[in-house]
Chain A
Amino acid sequence: MSTLAGWGRLPEPGTELLDEDLERLTEGAVLSRGLGRSYGDSSLPAHAGDKVANTRLANRILSFDPTTGVMRAEAGLSLVNLVRLMLPRGWFPPVVPGTKYVTLGGMVASDVHGKNHHREGCFGAHVRAMRIRLADNSTIECSPTEHADLFYGTIGGMGLLGHILEVEFALHRIPSQWIVMERERVHDIDAYLTSLTHAAGRWPMTMGWIDCVHRGASMGRGVLMAGRWATAEEAGAAAPKARADKALPIELPNWALNPITVGIFNSIYYWSHTPKVATRVMGPEPFFFPLDYVLDWNKVYGSRGFTQYQCVVPRAAGAPAVREFMDRLTKLGAASPLCVIKDCGPEGKGVLSFPMEGTSIAVDIPVMADIQRIVDGLNEFLISTGGRIYLTKDRFTRPEHFRAMESRLPAFAGLRERWDPQRRLRSAQSRRLFGDKA
């Protein structure tokens, strides 16, 4: 039987259709997907026979205004091509996620955030208009002034209100093609959070890596990174070299990443940074998309697959809650070389959009026998802080936990009632979390 899988490589039965003609492709489809970078089941069908539209061939730029930076494009246009075409011309998307292998449609459906969330909000904040195919197969234009409820419901709405056909958004003018990055090694979680807050005031872009295996006094030690676009003088005349991303030739065995190997890896990475603050000028690709260097790095977790647990702990809960979260994470034995912490700015207008003012924590967890127990444990604590998870990464959250952390759910259900009363549009994730029928 053919299957589809997200980035975490846990499959569901189903097939997808490809077509350059998005109008034809989405007719009768119940779910759109792009490059399959959502980790869990948000781009997988609720039922094996569901028509799933893969939009990645619908990649045309429909218009670009070089005076304002406003672009309108088909939903399947990838960020990799957008950056490749526009960076040399002095334009960059206002918000980019940690990978460039995503489509515009996916960036809207997930309302992706980036290192500049504390300044620029999510990608959806920069969208001006969209054309959408609704569940009844009609198409409709929406914007903050036209069908605004549909517009804001679609931003971060995981494709459940309609298929995104076209997106109009504004690119940002950049002073150069280079990034100035400052890097600082931080010895524990409290120092880390203090530095993060401090950096967020001074830098438009911040993020950091944390050693989530290390315990004891220096739990949560890590490396904090902050950046901004370099000025023309700092950058010099040369353009950054386009990087050739490499494929991973083999799938690593399931045992390759375990608490011991991850601990060794993390220590080497931590100690490879000097304690003093280092500043350098670098290309935007290794800064924004460091993991893309290995095209299919998801194979390092082996055939068992993995999930990413990403949540935001609200500012109101404070640093002690983040420390407690890290403590639980290390105790639950969720060993992973990847743990990213950053600041989120205020909540955006997307009805189900993930970020809220607070601290975002993202950690990869291999699918182990007790994965459900680990996710449940983290969710139970998260609910007590008033935080929430990121649907784009999720595969294991229980519906009752989701309801407990998501006070905006009734508002979203109301939008579905209005725009798709029969709940034709659905995914494996909406089946799991919203109780949609298979």
Chain B
Amino acid sequence: MNVVVFGGTAGIGRAIAQQLAERGDRVCLLGRAEASLAKSVGDLTARHPSQQAASSAVCDLEKPETFAPALDAAAQALGGFEAVIVTAAMFATQDALEADVELTRRLTTANYANTVTFCEHARTRLLASGGGWLTVLSSVAGDRGRKPVAIYGSSKAGLSTYLEALDHKFREKGLWVLCVKPGFVKTGMTAGLKPPPFAGEADQVARDVLRAMDRRKPLIYTPGIWALVMLVIRNLPRAVMRKIGF
């Protein structure tokens, strides 16, 4: 399979790209920093005995004008693609966002408006070539309005809703949309935060994501325990949510 991974140089995206390369899929990485892209291309190339070269193109989630050219470059490098995986996103703590309105504007724009824009570019290209996979990392943070992730969570809530609707609308046409809702995962993005119980590792999340794609699922929580945690959180009364800090 030929796969485009946007955000595949670090975190969960890196783990997904590595596992794809190891099983023999061809990967084109999209990302912001050229130096890191080059290192990751070397990594993905070395991970399979065939040493078939991975590829990359520069794409910045904060610059929507880079989206279409990057996807076109990926299509050229791969000779077409059957899957697009989006792991790129911005993260900041609620405290940092409340202290900086500009950061709030940037984060909500990147995580919602720009991610949806990127997905629309990807969707049209996938549908034009007969369908495929559009896998996007949202977050459990979007499942409920919660104090510590009020702004970040709301950007992911909008994204999750969009992805659900995409699945409803285009599954018949052969587009498998997967909304991934990771719980807390120990990556550079969450560095410095105290990991809660059930914190996951990127490798484990990547395995879950690839299995869900193979099974053409529309939604997963990962690590799996978070499906249960969020079931409870979604059903807590407002009075309780106001009291607790979670």
Q: Do A and B bind?
A: yes
- The 8 Å CB contact of B192, one of A17, A20, A21, A66, is A17
Given contacts A18-B188, A62-B46, 9 further A-B contacts (CB under 8 A): A18-B191, A19-B191, A20-B14, A25-B191, A57-B187, A60-B40, A60-B43, A61-B46, A63-B46
Interface residues of A in 1-53 (CB under 8 A from B): 2, 17-21, 25
Closest 5 pairs between A and B when the two form their complex, measured CB to CB: A60-B43, A19-B188, A20-B10, A64-B46, A61-B46
CB of A88 within 8 Å of the partner chain: yes
Query: Smallest distance from the beta carbon of B62 to chain A beta carbons, Å?
Result: 18
- The 8 Å CB contact of A60, one of B39, B51, B186, B194, is B39
The 0/1 profile, CB within 8 Å of A marked 1, for residues 34-63 of chain B is: 001001101100110101000000000000
A17-B39 in contact (CB<8A): no
Q: How far is B42's CA from A71's CA once the two chains are assembled, in angstroms?
A: 11
B188-A57 in contact (CB<8A): yes
A85-B22 in contact (CB<8A): yes
Contacts of A85 in B (CB 8 A): 22, 47
A18-B47 in contact (CB<8A): no
- The 8 Å CB contact of B186, one of A2, A18, A25, A63, is A18
CB of A89 within 8 Å of the partner chain: yes
CB of B153 within 8 Å of the partner chain: no
B187-A18 in contact (CB<8A): yes
Contacts of B10 in A (CB 8 A): 20-21
Q: How far is B233's CA from A129's CA once the two chains are assembled, in angstroms?
A: 51
Q: How far is B192's CA from A74's CA once the two chains are assembled, in angstroms?
A: 22
Q: How far is B42's CA from A63's CA once the two chains are assembled, in angstroms?
A: 6
- The 8 Å CB contact of A88, one of B14, B49, B51, is B49
A-B residue pair count with CB separations less than 8 angstroms: 47
Query: Smallest distance from the beta carbon of B50 to chain A beta carbons, Å?
Result: 10
Q: How far is B193's CA from A19's CA once the two chains are assembled, in angstroms?
A: 12
What are 23 A-B contacts defined by CB distance under 8 Å?
A: A2-B194, A17-B192, A18-B186, A18-B191, A19-B188, A20-B11, A20-B187, A21-B10, A25-B188, A25-B191, A57-B187, A57-B188, A60-B39, A60-B42, A61-B43, A62-B39, A62-B42, A62-B43, A63-B46, A64-B46, A66-B51, A85-B47, A88-B49
CB of B84 within 8 Å of the partner chain: no
Interface of A, helix, strand, loop or mixed by DSSP:
mixed
Contacts of B40 in A (CB 8 A): 60
CB of B202 within 8 Å of the partner chain: yes
Contacts of A89 in B (CB 8 A): 49
Query: Smallest distance from the beta carbon of B238 to chain A beta carbons, Å?
Result: 33
The 0/1 profile, CB within 8 Å of A marked 1, for residues 223-245 of chain B is: 00000000000000000000000
Give the most central of B49, B51, B191: most A CB within 10 Å: B191
Give the size range of B's interface with the partner: 20 to 34
Contacts of A61 in B (CB 8 A): 42-43, 46-47
Contacts of B43 in A (CB 8 A): 60-62
The 0/1 profile, CB within 8 Å of B marked 1, for residues 83-117 of chain A is: 00100110000000000000000000000000000
Query: Smallest distance from the beta carbon of A71 to chain B beta carbons, Å?
Result: 8
Contacts of B192 in A (CB 8 A): 17
Interface residues of A in 152-195 (CB under 8 A from B): none
Closest to A74 in B: B39
Query: Smallest distance from the beta carbon of B7 to chain A beta carbons, Å?
Result: 11
Query: Smallest distance from the beta carbon of A162 to chain B beta carbons, Å?
Result: 20
Closest to A61 in B: B46
Contacts of A20 in B (CB 8 A): 9-11, 14, 187-188
Give the most central of B22, B42, B194: most A CB within 10 Å: B42
Q: How far is B36's CA from A64's CA once the two chains are assembled, in angstroms?
A: 17
Q: How far is B191's CA from A17's CA once the two chains are assembled, in angstroms?
A: 6
Contacts of A60 in B (CB 8 A): 14, 39-40, 42-43
Contacts of B47 in A (CB 8 A): 61, 85
The 0/1 profile, CB within 8 Å of A marked 1, for residues 166-205 of chain B is: 0000000000000000000011100110100000001000
Contacts of B22 in A (CB 8 A): 85
Contacts of A18 in B (CB 8 A): 186-188, 191
Contacts of A21 in B (CB 8 A): 10, 36, 188
Interface residues of B in 149-165 (CB under 8 A from A): none
Q: How far is B238's CA from A325's CA once the two chains are assembled, in angstroms?
A: 68
Query: Smallest distance from the beta carbon of A66 to chain B beta carbons, Å?
Result: 6
Contacts A20-B11, A20-B188, A89-B49 given; indicate if A57 touches B202 (C-beta within 8 A).
yes
Q: How far is B31's CA from A321's CA once the two chains are assembled, in angstroms?
A: 60
Query: Smallest distance from the beta carbon of B151 to chain A beta carbons, Å?
Result: 23
Query: Smallest distance from the beta carbon of B206 to chain A beta carbons, Å?
Result: 12
Closest to A85 in B: B47
Q: How far is B12's CA from A57's CA once the two chains are assembled, in angstroms?
A: 10
Contacts of B39 in A (CB 8 A): 60, 62, 74
Contacts of B202 in A (CB 8 A): 57
Contacts of A19 in B (CB 8 A): 188, 191
Q: How far is B31's CA from A20's CA once the two chains are assembled, in angstroms?
A: 14
Contacts of A17 in B (CB 8 A): 191-192
